Structure 1
């Protein structure tokens, strides 16, 4: 059964049909830039545009950058504040006319990596960190997800950690890749002291430029780049939609 995976980010919405048996994208992804924070209604129109582009009539999985419980979004750090307490799943379903499953975006990326990628068959703790407009985290133990960890908002030097170590923060602060990577390593070592992962997987938009910084990151656990790169969120959202129920 094919499913449509949609990944909502701080600067764009991306989607593509996916074969959930293999994790393979079945068509080139469609990316819609969102330079300004969209209201939930406007975001639902962007989601519907992706569904129309692929002439979609089946299940849709949507990865959202915030805490997700059921079909509701409870936080919205990098999107419109009206998403807080919004029944986004219902809104997206109404806009597309399709059945929609909602999942935290980092959890979606982690699900893709644990199922098909770098975290496959790892029985210990796997920490996935997505680096883009913000910082997302997903934690798996024995292949099982602990939902909505959201450790990108861990207090760090008096502010949310993503204000210092996200890709957007690197650009805003004018840091070189090496200087930023050393701060990223400090942040990852803090997460290690909390979780003691055996494997840390880096995903998100910055993962496509890992050759510029990963050699400067120091941590205890094995550190790898997400096998699905920046498409992990799309794949994981599609996997969420393919689950029974």
Structure 2
């Protein structure tokens, strides 16, 4: 008899969309379709919880509590509490989010920062697997998320999307996230100039051994990564926009 693959569910909550899937943890790939719904306007806790219920119900695992569940969220997460609120309601700041989701879903979960879980996916199954030294993963989307991985170990809750730019009002993500490209209708070349500033600045601060670029735009990596001039190798995430789902599921089993 064949041994059944280890499975877990990953939910990746973002500023614009909530994605989920069932993950084969032996292979590090989705074993189901990816389900996605829009993040509710304002991203208030009760509305986000209802959206998560919707994706779990669509996957057919809303009442299957034998399959572990991991949830990724765009905030600093300490002890299950969300300590910041990037592109979601300010009601999440200081909020007992893990307990809130566990009560609302009627089950135990593993709850973590969204970029951190994407980093975990790339360490276990992707571009950072077996890499020594400092790897910095960034997710380019509504904002800029980051994960620091030193010799395979995650350093949680880095917020490199909020580095300040002296000549620009606001932080790095308001200037260089993919949403800025869309909002200002920038060409790939013009956006790459902003990314050049961003990655050069991070490179100067941390001297990493590898940059990994994730988020939905990473599927178009060939349109902008070759324009960047860095000392550090920079590659697209293997799992692209599924990294959050895969990493959240992986962490659900520890």
Question: Is the TM value for this pair above 0.5?
Answer: yes
Contact 2:219 2:240 in 1 (8 A): yes
Asked if the contact 1:70/1:102 (under 8 Å) is kept, the reply is no
- Per the alignment, in what secondary structure is the counterpart of residue 94 of structure 1? helix
- Cα deviation 1:29-68 (Å, max 9, x = unaligned): 1000126222111111111112222232232111111100
Superposed CA offset, 1:185-236 (max 9, x none): 1110110111111110000011112122111122111110000011001000
1:24 matched to which residue of 2? Answer: 29
Q: Determine the C-alpha separation between the residues in 2 that align with 1:190 and 1:126.
A: 15
- The answer to whether 1:179 aligns with 2:190 is yes
TM-score normalised over the length of structure 1: 0.96
Answer whether contact 1:48 1:92 (CA < 8 A) is retained. no
Total equivalences in the alignment: 243
Larger Rg: 2
For residues 136 and 19 of structure 2, the distance between their equivalents in structure 1, rounded to whole angstroms, comes to 23
The yes-or-no answer on 1:138 pairing with 2:147 is yes
Q: CA deviation at 1:94?
A: 1.8
**Is the 8 Å Cα contact of residues 66 and 150 (structure 1) preserved in structure 2?**
no
Pairing partner for 1:75 from 84, 89, 106: 84
CA distance in 1, matches of 2:204, 2:40: 36
User: TM-score w.r.t. structure 2 length?
Assistant: 0.92
Question: C-alpha root-mean-square deviation of aligned residues, in Å?
Answer: 1.2
Give distance in 1, aligned partners of 2:153 and 2:45: 30
Which residues of structure 2 form unaligned runs of 5+?
1-5
Match of 1:228 in 2: 239
Q: Which runs of 4+ in 1 moved over 3 A?
A: none
Match of 1:190 in 2: 201
